[in-house]
């Protein structure tokens, strides 16, 4: 709309520079369009389609359950081990999908970035929402199984599940923005991401109990282990889903304390990711 006499002159900003994640909130309609587009094209041309959202987690669960639960007999030593395993596995899968896809989002949307200007943060944020869309059906399946075996959580335990998802969402977005910005110029970044994702299930108590780590490492190393935001989030998931289905199941000590630290750490990582993203975004169109 053209300016009229007396209208305030809008503030001028440098081309290609914005206000970071604030611009994503201001342009929610664009975020909605990008998320819808990513959801629709993800399995386009696939025979199974959305079923792949269940096939992949089910395949991983089967492999880990047979290898660890049956062959190594964790199913005999950890009560309701399938629930313990699946509740942690879907969360770390959420982290892996969100982290990998947000790292690749800028390169994959290179043609669009070079043609028009929009807040670049929209692309990694949209991948986070797509990962949430894929996570929710798995949570529903887990919930139904837990209800079937007598799931009786407290309000705090149920809220802990939401906090766990929030920690992973913030942590993955921060890392995705940081590595995604670097990936535009240095494609080795996504190889580092794949290494991190490969280690993630083993660096947190997804496949085993936290007590197994405490029994074999020094106290200072166990404390460092618990400071990992993924570890604190997985412990919250176990506290929310697995523990209410067992009579004697216990999660790691000081779960809520480490969860608060994990949330704070995730916010710091997000701030660092936004800072690096903002510093490098002026080169995106040129490097792509």
Q: What is the pLDDT of residues 189-230, one digit of tens each?
A: 888 899 999 999 899 999 999 989 988 989 999 999 999 999
| Token pair listed for 73 | 């007999």
173 contact partners, CB below 8 Å, separation of at least 6: 98, 102, 124, 125, 128, 270, 273
Q: Is 187 helix (H, G, I), strand (E, B) or coil?
A: coil
Mean pLDDT value across residues 70-93: 91
> pLDDT tens for residues 2-43?
545 555 544 555 544 567 788 788 888 888 888 888 777 776
Compute CA distances 75 → 67, 86, 98, 102, whole Å: 10, 13, 29, 35
Between 68 and 113, the more confident residue is: 68
| Token pair listed for 175 | 């890392």
**How far apart, in whole angstroms, are the C-alpha atoms of residue 50 and residue 62?**
19
């Amino acid at each position: 709309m053209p300016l009229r006499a007396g209208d305030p002159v809008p503030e001028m900003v440098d081309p290609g520079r914005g206000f970071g994640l604030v611009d994503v909130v201001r342009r929610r309609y664009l975020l909605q369009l990008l998320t819808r587009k990513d959801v629709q094209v993800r399995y386009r041309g696939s025979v199974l389609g959305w079923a792949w959202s269940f096939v992949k987690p089910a395949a991983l669960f089967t492999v880990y359950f047979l290898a660890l639960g049956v062959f190594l007999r964790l199913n005999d030593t950890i009560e309701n081990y399938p629930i313990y395993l699946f509740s942690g596995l879907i969360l770390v899968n959420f982290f892996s999908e969100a982290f990998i896809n947000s790292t690749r989002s800028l390169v994959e949307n290179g043609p669009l970035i070079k043609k028009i200007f929009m807040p670049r943060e929209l692309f990694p944020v949209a991948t986070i929402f797509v990962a949430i869309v894929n996570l929710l059906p798995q949570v529903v399946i887990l919930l139904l199984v837990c209800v079937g075996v007598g799931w009786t959580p407290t309000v705090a335990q149920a809220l802990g599940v939401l906090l766990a998802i929030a920690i992973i969402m913030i942590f993955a977005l921060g890392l995705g923005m940081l590595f995604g910005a670097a990936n535009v110029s240095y494609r080795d970044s996504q190889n580092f991401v794949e290494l991190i994702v490969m280690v993630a299930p083993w660096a947190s108590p997804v496949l085993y109990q936290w007590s197994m780590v405490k029994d074999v490492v020094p106290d200072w190393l166990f404390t460092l282990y618990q400071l990992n935001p993924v570890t604190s989030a997985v412990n919250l998931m176990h506290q929310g889903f697995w523990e209410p289905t067992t009579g004697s199941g216990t999660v790691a000590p000081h779960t809520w304390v480490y969860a608060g630290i994990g949330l704070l750490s995730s916010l710091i990582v997000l701030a660092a990711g936004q800072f690096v993203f903002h510093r490098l975004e002026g080169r995106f169109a040129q490097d792509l």
